[in-house]
Amino acid sequence: MKSLIKSIFLLSFVLLSLASFSQSKVIALDDEGFKEKVFDFEKEKEWVFKGDKPVIVDFYTTWCGPCKRVAPILAELQEEYGDAIQIYKVNTEKARAVSAAFGITSIPSFLFIPAKGKPHMAKGAFPKETFVKALTEIMGVKEIVKTK
């Protein structure tokens, strides 16, 4: 009986630990997901951010070489910054409405969105240092905060 109680206690502890473990990863969005989580470009005329933390949106395609080079950098940043930011990726060939709404004509393109304020668009494949600088200077994220 003691063994069963110990096992139940240990299992409960492990499950609670896993429940509090944050799953910080880059999330793919389609047109509807973008409207739900970031900005409803069909209903709103002025910028109304639906999120509560800084966001980077990566506009990419699967065949784009520079996009493929930047993808691991973004995954690394999401892991390092944890719940302090969110990185979304939007495949411009599948999410045509949001891509058109933001005038995406070059990939990769990035939308840097501070928690409060207006977003900033940038085009091109950047090194990690440039993304870190954007997180600090544009988005107000001062340091790596990993909440796991």
Q: Which residues are part of the catalytic machinery?
A: 64, 67
- The C-alpha atoms of residue 136 and residue 143 are separated, in whole angstroms, by 8
- Quickly tell me which residue has 């800084």 as its tokens: 54
- Cross-strand bridge partners of residue 57: 88, 111
| CA nearest to 148, candidates 94, 52, 80, 50 | 80
Task: Report which DSSP code applies to 114.
Answer: -
- Quickly tell me which residue has 């080079």 as its tokens: 69
| CA nearest to 89, candidates 115, 68, 119, 65 | 68
Distances (CA, A) of 95 to 3, 60, 75: 54, 10, 21
